[in-house]
Amino acid sequence: PASLETLVNGKRGVIALVPVGSTEPHGPHLGLGTDVVISAAACLRAAELLDKRGTMIGVIAPAISYGVTDCATGFSGAVSIPGAVLTPYIAAICDGLLASGIRHVCLVNNHLEPAHDAAVRAVLAGREKKVSYACPLTKRWARTLSAAFKSGACHAGRYETSIIMAAGPEFVVEELRTRLPSVPISLSEKLAAGVNTFEEMGLKAAYAGDPASASIEEGEQLIQRLGEMVVGEVLE
């Protein structure tokens, strides 16, 4: 593969796609880095779509694997970074990438905790032309996703589990996934009502939704839509 120096000195603009996620429990069947795996899959698909356009090159930067995960307080494996720390950290990463000759940076986030989302979005202030943000919480993209996502019962449920089955099946404990009962609790509704932790919401095993109904086919479709989301934000 060509070096970054060769790419930035070439004719096509280089777009850095940065996977953003968190380190937190995702039920007994998925790994702590689930959100990062989802973001990386979206970046990979977006890079393929950008390459087909012929005018830009998408490169995938090292991931930002920790974030604001206060919702998972009390569960083993949850490592939360304060938003006031996360924003300048990500901003410094973006500035460093731009200083290296990258034309544009897109932060691709699939950890949907509101405080985390706000901390990442804050990076755009003063960098609107140079940095974009792709996240399913943006309504225009949320509309393109599955019914499981729209239900709000989507933490390690059918939505996220399908994507991981397609993007990284080695991160799924199949013998557990297929036996898990459905947990029909909408995180979005709970958060809107002021219930802010998994424990208070009733997510006893740190998942919501129906992971047993997940499928590779649905995961592939969702990865395509997430990749299109990233490309849409970059082009805009």
Band (pLDDT 50/70/90 cuts) for residue 1 is low
Share of the chain above pLDDT 90, in %: 91
Q: Which residues contact 53 (CB under 8 A, 6 or more apart)?
A: none
pLDDT of 7 reads: 74
Band (pLDDT 50/70/90 cuts) for residue 128 is confident
How far, in Å, CA of 78 to CA of 74, rounded? 8
**Tens of pLDDT along 54-94?**
888 999 999 999 999 999 999 999 999 999 999 999 999 99
**Tens of pLDDT along 150-175?**
999 999 999 999 999 999 999 999 99
Strand ranges inside the chain, DSSP E: 13-20, 56-60, 104-109, 131-134
Tokens 């777009």: give the residue: 15
How far, in Å, CA of 196 to CA of 100, rounded? 40
Count of all residues that appear for the chain in the document = 236
pLDDT of 8 reads: 74
Range 199-224 average pLDDT = 98
The larger pLDDT score, comparing residue 100 to residue 1, is at 100
* Position 2 pLDDT exceeds 70: no
* Token digits of residue 80: 């939360």
Model pTM score: 0.95
pLDDT of 124 reads: 97
**Tens of pLDDT along 35-57?**
999 999 999 999 999 999 888 89
* Position 9 pLDDT exceeds 90: no
pLDDT of 10 reads: 73
